[in-house]
Structure 1
Amino acid sequence: MSVDIETTTERIEQLLSRMTWEEKLAQLGSHWNDRRTGGEIIAPMQDVMGAGRPEFTAAARHGMGHLTRRFGTTPVQPRDGMAVAREDQLFLRDSTRLGIPAILHEECLTGLTTLGATVYPTPLAWAATFDRDLVRETAAAIGADMRALGVHQGLAPVLDVTTDYRWGRVEETLGEDPFVVATLGTAFVQGLQSAGVIATLKHFAGHASSRGGRNHAPVAMGERDLRDLVLPPFEMAVRIGGAGSVMNSYTETDRVPAAADRRLLTDILRGEWGFEGTVVSDYWAVAFLKAKHRVAATVADAGRLALHAGMDVELPDTAAFAALAVDDPDPERTAAEVDEAVRRVLRQKLALGLLDDGWEPPEPADVDLDSERNRGIARRLAERSVVLLDNPRDLLPLDVPPARIAVVGPGADDPRVLMGAYSYPIHVLPRHPELGLGIDAESIADAVRRRFDDAEVSVVPGVPLVEPPADGEIERAVDAAAAADVAIAVVGDRAGMFGKGTSGEGSDAPGLDLPGHQGRLADAVLATGTPVILLVVSGRPYALGRYVGRAAAIVQAFFPGVEGPAAIAGILAGDTAPSGHLPVQIPRHADALPHTYLAPPLGQDGDRISSLSIAAAFPFGHGLSYTSFEVGTPEPAASDLPTDGRTSVAVTVRNTGGRRGATVVQLYASDPVAQVTRPVVQLLGYARVELDPGAAARVHFDVHADRFSFVGLEGRRVVEPGDILLSSGRSVGDRSAEVLLRLAGPTRRVEHAVLDTPTRVEGVDA
């Protein structure tokens, strides 16, 4: 291994020594073939930032570090996109002095963001599966498609921990628990990179903790919340997952923009965690240091601030880094930091094979981006993500198919409600209406018709997504529901960018009532007396307390992707038992914030603390099935655990119902007395278990004392002696009696926040 490192270092130093200043800077930037400088744009200031963008051959005369979204911008078929990328790469190889190809990056959060690619469920849906292996398999399939096209880097996963459900990008997150975000996010990293594609962690750090749930708003957060809530997923994905790249957050914490925060990008990321990959800017984040944060007087100053903080590559175009030498007060420091950033970029290119003798970009080919393999994975992911919230009358499953079904709501017959904002049909294709969705996708109504093919199915939207209904629209939906044996009310979101939807980047919510007049529709349909399945298809949790006990069943699906309708219809029919569990809570009331479960005692409901209750309608981890499960109390291997030791905790789960099903066994910990306030209860480990009727399994959680660490009074991470209370169950609100585990020994300083809780599941004789 040492020989390889020495050889790599020698090759990089030789190449670096040959580079001119302009050639070095070229490696730290990118080029986007997006020619729009006016008219309809995706993001605010995109037209300003893109103005004057040169053609590729002019921009790349000294080389280029990255190529931005050659497949994800203008709609292209795989063969055509490969031809464009190949032409650019051959220009770099054959027409620049050093002949260094570029790293081609694309978005890939719900599958590769390009025309005709499979749209997988959104990350909030992955989290609802609590299934690391399936998330890893999904990412590997996405990576394989990307690699076949010649794509080297994916801008995923999002490791932001949800703290405010109003934030538009909740759909992109893995929920509100940092351990779930860390473990599933790391699984995605491992899957993507197993296919030879660099994973990019975003948004580092605190993006989801912006004030008021507002996009790009400042973050008001202390050191403990940053260290105990926000950073652990990134640390696990770096230290355990080996992530190759990190992207900064647009936000600012304690008035320091992340793109200029050396403490984040260098001291913590590299100094504490040993990260050796590249830090890439979120699009225009470097220029935003001048244009939005106003911490730089010029674009050149902005570039130097970012470079000094630890930024390596400016995306999506090269602007600020190209001007680094302009009026530089410390050119020696800048030159040294440029060299170090170039080394990191070259190291990745070498690892990707881009510097190999005889390297060739792939020949254009007809690559199937919506294969049967992809669809099968997307279907399993969707099925395991659907959460049965409530089924008080045992209406579900519909074992005896109804003769008449009414499907109402704005999402009833609209396939767009299935897809997240970073899917190609939502992200790009609204600007190309002639292409439709660019992929075969049925609506929920289509899937219901197909699955219940003997039933009479009527479909009436009732209300638009947010606009007021026309005269008689709600009445027509009510009439359809009243005439049916079962009504399915499809409510929730349709994703869109910057206010063009009710979920997605820049589509933040003022509150957590169902958008627009959907609540009116739901109330009217529930008043008919027909059994109503309230099907919420959304990118965030909405307040559903008013429907509990009124709806015959409540089902939650977080943007389940193109296979979502078939998965949902199969679950309603009983072909598949629901097994999803909530990675976020479902609020009871829309306006009593916050709603997340990870709060200290004063952040919880208490005896006469406030006139506002923040109790959840359905708690974190909740999810019902068509069978029943019994989860036993935790059984630690010993009653004492050294503050530097580890132990095994066993939990027995049994299927006590009449059909096969899966549940998520959850292990929780409570620290009743600590030197700083701690969450009342916090997830320690989880395991998805599938059992036949009457069968049982024993889940063994391998728990290290470091899992009980926190940032103490002196600002250092510690494990301190004392009592820990363990409990287990199927949600944070449905837990066993607590079992005492005593941490014994001295208070111990801990270097790292992240340590996994491996699980092992073994069968138990009935």
Structure 2
Amino acid sequence: MSIEEKLAQLVGYWVDQGDDLVAPMAGEMASSTRYEDASAHGIGHLTRVYGTRPVDPIERAAWLWGEQRRLVQETRLGIPAIVHEECLTGLAAWKAATFPTPLAWGAAFDPDLVDRMGRLIGESMRALGIHQGLAPVLDVIRDPRWGRVDECIGEDPYLVGVLGTAYVRGLQDAGVHATLKHFVGYSGSQAGRNHAPVHAGPRELADVFLPPFEMAVRDGGVRSVMNSYAEIDGMPVAATPAYLTDLLRAEWGFDGVVVSDYFSVAFLHTMHAVARDLGDAARLALEAGIDVELPTGDAFAGPLLDLVRSGGIDLEIIDRAVVRVLAQKDELGLLDATFDDAPTAVDLDSPAHREVARELAASSIVLLTNDGTLPLREPGRVAVIGPNGDSAEALMGCYSFANHVLAHHPGVPFGFEIPTFAAALSDALGEDRVLRAHGCDVEGDDRSGFDEAEAAARGADVAFVVVGDRAGLFGRGTVGEGNDAESLELPGVQRELIERVQATGTPVVLVVLSGRPYAIDGALTGERSVAAALQAFFPGEEGGTALVDIVTGRVSPSGRLPVSLPRSVGAQPYTYLHPFLGGPNEITSADSTPALPFGHGLSYTTFTHDEITAPTEAAAGAPLTVSVRVRNTGDRAGTDVVQLYARDVFASVTRPVAQLVAFARVPLEAGEEATVSFDVPPTRFAFTGRDGHRIVEPGDMELWVGPSCETREAETVVALTGPVHVVTPADARIASVAVRR
């Protein structure tokens, strides 16, 4: 291969970007090189062929098949391109199904369902000639002010790792390579600001940020990883071999391809200022372990070629990346592909898609409080009030095609059905029984709709006040990439709207459709508390229907909070994984206690947990079997999320006061009971010791099961014995579960 042919395999090209810019940096970083010239020697990736603007999938597939044939037939080496797309909430393409956002996956606590979703997404992508998906996001939530929280799964690294690994398996079983984002530390940004510096220490990185990625690499067999934009203690990840080579490849054994986050190679020059120019940025990134520059070749094309010609870079580093890319293309079957027959029909939103979308949405909805108003019992007339009650956009996350791309194309239909909550409720109850009032917008201070909202509430037996977020990018919304928050109050005048409706005396059911948790505790407790409250994290195309399934009682709620519900912005950053000094105590007047804890969620039935059993002693390096009895003590069927927590009583470094070590969704009929047994691997009790190694120390380990991290309903203590166990790659990382009825 000539040097030009090698570099061509290391870059992407955004063939369809035009003037439809989806990010503020895209315009100034856009390549001035014509595609015909850039691909004269082949090309590594085609960037977002379907996901840049609303194009008919079949027409676009015909173009793509023709372009791949051209690369095969008219370039000297005849190597096709990898096509990559976003797929965080489904394939980000026009007319494709939109699933719940990852924060909803976390609320569902259901890896099997996430696996099914990933497989369906992968099948859609593969049918359209797409080879690589830029998902899942495995960043652990550390501060809900961060705009990208809706892309994350939760604040617990084990929950993130289990569900993220399930998504990887589903997508890759369908023949599409998953891409882990964003390796590593990105969500720990200072003050919850996008691209802000990260001040995490090595222990926080090892024990919080890295475990989900390690699980997806070792247990999920992921084939691609994307670097984080972050700079950690002054060192940009994109230029740090310690993360991208020493840890990822040498220690974990990852043998896939590392792609750059969009423009992050150039950012080494323009934002981090550790590279003198784009050629220097290319050298730093390649030396660190980045193989492919996305979305274009701003640094890896012309600037890197100039550096090669001047002798400023070792050619072996370039060859290393080229071999990895060609191996990936071979693994995907591209090197033997002929691209003879483009698809003539494809269903990107089939009944199977919608079935999983509805099931996942319903499983993710969290019942926060309830005085018995829900489920509705012959309500007479109901009012649906608020900016999100009759909004389809409010059901979808930042990386949905609708909010990510169609926001630039007003008037273009979504291309799939997405009933709003108000529409779905009208279908269920009858249009004549549902009053609608907008009340106010998500943002702004316009209160002109308050009177109409009050009138609707007074004319109803129950008022649903539906508030929350509008997902978007870089200032075009209240949550999403680049939409970071200085406050955790509901945006705009939505809190005032709730209070005005409450003042009517009509029972209020608060429904929050959002991409982050908000400080809504004032509406949940006290004399003016709402009758019931539901939290739905952008539940997708079937989210409106799933909410109606919940409020009408067709489905009993089973979602659990994957992130603590904050009381105030002043208590941030907060995580339930805090040591003693990180929580409320007698030596500070500041109370960081959340309004509702991690793992909280109510049902229309009740569950009890008892008869927890575990050995009194176990070797520190051995698996631990813990069982507990769960009983449905109510009068209707429901699904419990059995949560097993642990606390290391005394350790050589400070440890969290609670840590999730296993979980299981257990459906039970009224009066039914089951015994849930967890085989917990020693890695669930491991931490980074004083010498930097991950270890399990002997000593007492408290274990409990309860309805959240805060409540110990059934508890026991196990004494871990023997020598300190140093974690090895052979150790299991995911607890296994067995349910006996």
Give the alignment's TM-score, normalised by structure 2. 0.97
Query: For the Cα contact (< 8 Å) 2:53–2:406, is it kept in 1?
Result: no
Instruction: Quote the offset at 1:35 in angstroms.
Output: 3.9
Q: What is the match of residue 202 of structure 2?
A: 223
2:411 to 428, 434, 437: 434
Residues 562-593 of structure 1: CA distance to partner in whole angstroms, max 9, x if unpaired? 10001101110001111111111111234322
1:483 to 459, 470, 479: 459
Deviation of 1:505 after TM superposition, in Å, equals 0.3
State the SS of the aligned residue for 1:236: helix
Gaps of 5+ in 1: 1-18
1:692-731 to structure 2, matched below 5 A, reads: 692-731=669-708
- Residue of structure 1 in register with 2:658 after alignment: 681
Distance 2:616 2:17 in 1: 65
The one-letter amino acid paired with 1:26 is A
CA distance in structure 1 between the aligned counterparts of 2:576 and 2:452, rounded to whole angstroms = 40
Q: Partner residue of 2:269?
A: 290
CA distance in 1, matches of 2:341, 2:703: 54
> Residues 436 and 156 from structure 1, CA distance in 2 versus in 1: closer, same or farther, beyond 3 angstroms?
same
Q: Give the aligned partner of residue 479 of structure 2.
A: 503
What residue is the counterpart of 1:50 in the other structure? Answer: 30
Aligned mate of 2:524, from 548, 556, 561: 548
Match of 1:338 among 286, 297, 318: 318
1:655 maps to 2:635: no
Supply the distance in 2 between the matched residues of 1:455 and 1:580 (Cα, whole angstroms).
31
Displacement of 1:748 in angstroms is: 2.5
Residues 1:616 and 2:575 are matched in the alignment:
no
- 1:116-150 deviation line (CA, Å, top 9, x unaligned): 10110000001111111000000000000000111
Q: Give 1:41 deviation, angstroms.
A: 3.1
Structure 1 counterpart SS, 2:207: helix
Q: Output aligned runs, 1:303-322, within 5 Å.
A: 303-322=282-301
Query: Could you tell me which residue of structure 2 aligns to residue 466 of structure 1?
Result: 443
In the alignment, which of 79, 83, 88 is matched to residue 58 of structure 2?
A: 79
In structure 2, distance between residues paired with 1:44 and 1:360: 35
Query: Residues 232 and 754 of structure 1 are in contact (CA less than 8 Å); yes or no, is this contact kept in structure 2?
Result: no
**Equivalence for 2:92:** 113
Number of aligned positions between the proteins = 737
For the Cα contact (< 8 Å) 1:425–1:437, is it kept in 2? yes
SS of residue matched to 2:200: coil
1:197 aligned residue (166, 172, 176): 176
Which whole-Å CA distance do the structure 2 matches of 1:447 and 1:223 have between them? 49
- 1:231-251 CA-partner distances (Å, limit 9, x unpaired): 000000001100000001111
Q: Go from structure 1 to structure 2 and tell me whether the alpha carbon gap of 1:680 and 1:754 turns closer, same or farther (over 3 Å shift).
A: farther
Instruction: Give the 3-state SS of the residue equivalent to 1:191 in structure 2.
Output: helix
Q: Is the 8 A contact 2:662 2:678 kept in 1?
A: yes
> Secondary structure of 1:615's partner?
coil
Counterpart code for 1:73: T
Structure 1, 42-51 or 217-226: larger mean CA deviation: 42-51
Deviation, structure 1 residue 359: 2.7
Q: Which position in structure 2 is the counterpart of 1:347?
A: 327
Q: 2 CA distance for matches of 1:469 and 1:478?
A: 15
Report the Cα distance in structure 2 between the residues aligned to 1:208 and 1:668, rounded to whole angstroms.
Answer: 24
Q: After superposition, give the CA deviation of every residue in 1:308-362 in whole Å (9 maximum; x if it has no partner).
A: 0000000001121122243459948631011111111111111111112x63265
Residue of structure 2 equivalent to 1:518: 494
> Secondary structure of the equivalent of 1:341?
helix
What TM-score do you get using the length of structure 1 for normalisation? 0.94
Q: Secondary structure at the match of 2:497?
A: helix
Change (3 A) 1:113 1:483: same
What letter matches 1:267 in structure 2? D
State the secondary structure of the residue aligned to 1:237.
helix
**d(CA) in 1 for partners of 2:188, 2:96:** 31
Partner of 1:369: 348
Alignment pair present for 1:186 and 2:165 = yes
SS of the residue corresponding to residue 306 of structure 2 reads coil
The answer (yes or no) to whether the contact 1:378–1:563 under 8 Å persists in 2 is yes
Deviation for aligned residue 1:717 = 1.4
Counterpart CA distance in 2 for 1:634 and 1:307 is 52
**SS of 2:135's equivalent?**
coil
What code does the residue aligned with 1:416 have? Answer: E
Q: Alpha-carbon deviation of 1:760?
A: 3.0
% identity of equivalent residues: 51
1:650-678 CA-partner distances (Å, limit 9, x unpaired): 01100000000001000000011111111
For residues 614-648 of structure 1, the C-alpha deviation after alignment (integer angstroms, 9 at most, x for no partner) is 11111101111111000125311x21111221121
Mapped to 2, the partners of 1:51 and 1:680 lie a distance apart of 51
Alignment of 1:535 onto 2:535: no
| Worse-superposed segment, 147-156 or 748-757 | 748-757
1:753 to partner: Cα distance? 11
Kindly indicate whether the alpha-carbon contact (under 8 Å) linking 1:121 and 1:559 is maintained by their aligned counterparts in 2.
yes
Distance 1:85 1:292, change over 3 A: same
SS in 2 for 1:90: helix
Amino acid corresponding to residue 4 of structure 2 in structure 1: E
Q: Which residue identity lines up with residue 493 of structure 1 in the other structure?
A: D
Partner of 1:487, secondary structure, is: strand
1:439 Cα offset (Å): 2.5
Residues 496, 352 of structure 1: alpha-carbon distance in 2 compared, 3 angstrom cutoff: same
Structure 1 residue 604 and structure 2 residue 583: aligned? Answer: yes
The answer (yes or no) to whether the contact 1:245–1:280 under 8 Å persists in 2 is: yes
- 2:110 corresponds, among 116, 131, 135, to 131
The CA distance in 1 between the partners of 2:305 and 2:497, in whole Å, is 61
Q: How does 1:566-605 map to 2 (within 5 A)?
A: 566-605=545-584
Check the 8 A contact 1:717/1:753 in 2, yes or no. no
Question: Which residue identity is paired with 2:32?
Answer: G
Cα–Cα, structure 1 residues 700 and 378, in superposed 2: closer, same or farther, change >3 Å? same
Assess, with a 3 A threshold, how the Cα gap between structure 1 residues 51 and 704 changes in structure 2: closer, same or farther: closer
CA–CA separation in structure 2 for the residues paired with 1:282 and 1:754: 31
For the pair 1:632 / 2:610, whether they are aligned, the reply is: yes
Residue of structure 1 equivalent to 2:245? 266
Give the superposition deviation at 1:442.
1.6
| Residue equivalent to 2:13 | 31
Q: Does 1:418 align with 2:395?
A: yes
Secondary structure of 1:171's aligned partner: helix
Question: What is aligned with 1:281?
Answer: 260
CA distance in structure 1 between the aligned counterparts of 2:714 and 2:121, rounded to whole angstroms: 42
Code of the residue aligned with 1:476 in structure 2: it is E
**Aligned partners of 2:195 and 2:608: how far apart in 1?**
44
Tell me what 2:304 maps to: 324
CA–CA distance in 1 between the matches of 2:272 and 2:739?
54
Are the equivalent residues in 2 in contact too, given 1:669–1:681 (CA < 8 A)?
Answer: yes
CA distance in 2 between partners of 1:581 and 1:361 (Å): 48
1:633·1:739 contact (CA, 8 Å) conserved in 2? no
Moved more, 711-720 or 416-425: 711-720
- How far off its partner does 1:92 sit? 0.8
2-side partners of 1:455 and 1:533: how far apart? 20
Cα contact 1:577–1:661 (8 A) shared by 2:
yes
Q: CA RMSD in A?
A: 1.6
5+ residue gaps in structure 2? none
- Aligned partners of 2:189 and 2:195 also within 8 Å: yes
Partner-residue secondary structure (3-state), 1:617:
coil
C-alpha displacement of 1:486: 0.2
2:427 to 435, 450, 453: 450
Question: 1-side partners of 2:305 and 2:98: how far apart?
Answer: 43
For residue 146 of structure 1, give the secondary structure of its aligned residue in structure 2.
Answer: helix
* Residues 705-741 of structure 1, C-alpha deviations (whole Å, 9 max, x = no match): 2321111112221111111100111211222253111
Partner of 2:154: 175
What letter is aligned with 2:25? M
Question: What is the deviation of 1:454?
Answer: 6.6
Residues in 1 aligned to 2:299 and 2:431: alpha-carbon distance in whole angstroms = 63
**CA–CA distance in structure 2, aligned partners of residues 144 and 690 of structure 1:** 29
Amino acid paired to 2:177: I
